[in-house]
Homo-oligomer: A and B are copies of this chain.
Amino acid sequence: MKITLKDIARELEVSISTVSKALKNSEEISRDTKEKVQAFAKLYNYKPNNIAISLKNKRTKNIGVVIPDIVHHFFTTVIRGIEKYANARGYNVIVCLSEESFDKEVINMEMLANGSIDGFIMSLSSETQQKADYNHLKEVTEQGIPVVLFDRITNEIDCDKVIIDDELGAYMATKRLIDEGRKKIALITTDDYLSVSKARTMGYRKALIESGLGVDESRILKLSSMEMDEERIKDFFETQKVDAVLCVNEIFAVYSMRLAQEKGLKIPEDISFIGFTDGFLSKYAYPSLTVVAQHGEKMGEISAQMLIDKVEGEKEEEETFQTKTLEPTLVIRDSIFH
């Protein structure tokens, strides 16, 4: 089964420490013994036990990723970015899903905080942002466990952060729609307690105000969560006459496009659409959807890099936290004129 130093030592009738050194090719050990030990180890496929090493080094080489959700394309790409980068530096990724629940987020973090991981990368659940209760994060950081927050962040916690400039993204998108000649631009978003939705709404407002169009509050639809509420979107389009729609994710956008098409509207002739998140849905929708790309994979990489740098960095140095803001990009497709 699994062979240990002790086994090798017993078998070769040398001490455990000799074996340990021999396997590390230590100068102290005679060539003879080294060869013998190494051959034996290879034969029986000896590999040091990670757990024992973790205990000794107080380093697990695991990083905990706590996210609200995994089926949405954005989080999926972030994980991929984290995993790639972390793996390259010899770290494994433990994924925990809060499923937008505060309690699950807390439980998951407690579970991992007891030595299972060297640091956290996380995006807050909507319930957490709604309650604005961040004690579980405080506890963890006070224990000295490094944390990197991405996308759904809070200013209440001192730690590294990675976001995209959501306000700018929404601003760019709205501006583009205005430049195209759209006058009645709707926004489909979620409640403002979600940091990203709030920022995006601000960007939308800013663009409208700057252009002199002004904000018509009745054109803003606030859904209560990131999940689809088909009925409310349907109702919205029944009562509102708009010529462009900005949505805070791609699902809202693609579903809205469908409703428009079912009403006989032509996209983009009669109405145009822009969403957030550059996923399969946007790419393969018909017509394909113009989106604000969030660069999830890049965010994941950067988060992982910041975390690991902190984990491996000297604790001595002054604790200094930074927030990295990525530039969003507009990916132009057929749901608008171009």
Residues of A within 8 A of B (CB): 1-2, 45, 47-52, 54-55, 60, 62, 70-71, 73, 76-77, 79-80, 83-84, 87, 90, 92-97, 108, 110-116, 139, 143-144, 251, 254-255, 257-258, 261, 280-281, 284-286
Contacts and interface: CB of A to CB of B under 8 A. Distances in A.
Given A1-B143, A51-B55, A62-B94, 6 more contacts: A48-B114, A70-B79, A94-B94, A251-B280, A257-B286, A280-B281
A79 B97 CA distance: 10
A227 to B, nearest CB: 12
Contacts of A45: 139
A92 B116 contact: yes
Contacts of A50: 114-116
Contacts of A286: 257-258, 261, 285-286
A196 B79 CA distance: 25
A49 B115 contact: yes
A92 B96 contact: yes
Q: Ordered nearest first, which 4 A-B pairs have the shortest CB separation?
A: A49-B115, A50-B115, A254-B284, A51-B115
Nearest to A79: B70
A100 B79 CA distance: 16
A97 B80 contact: yes
Q: Which of A48, A83, A114, A257 counts the most B-chain CB atoms under 10 A from its CB? A: A114
Contact of A92 (B52, B71, B73, B112): B112
Contacts of A143: 1-2
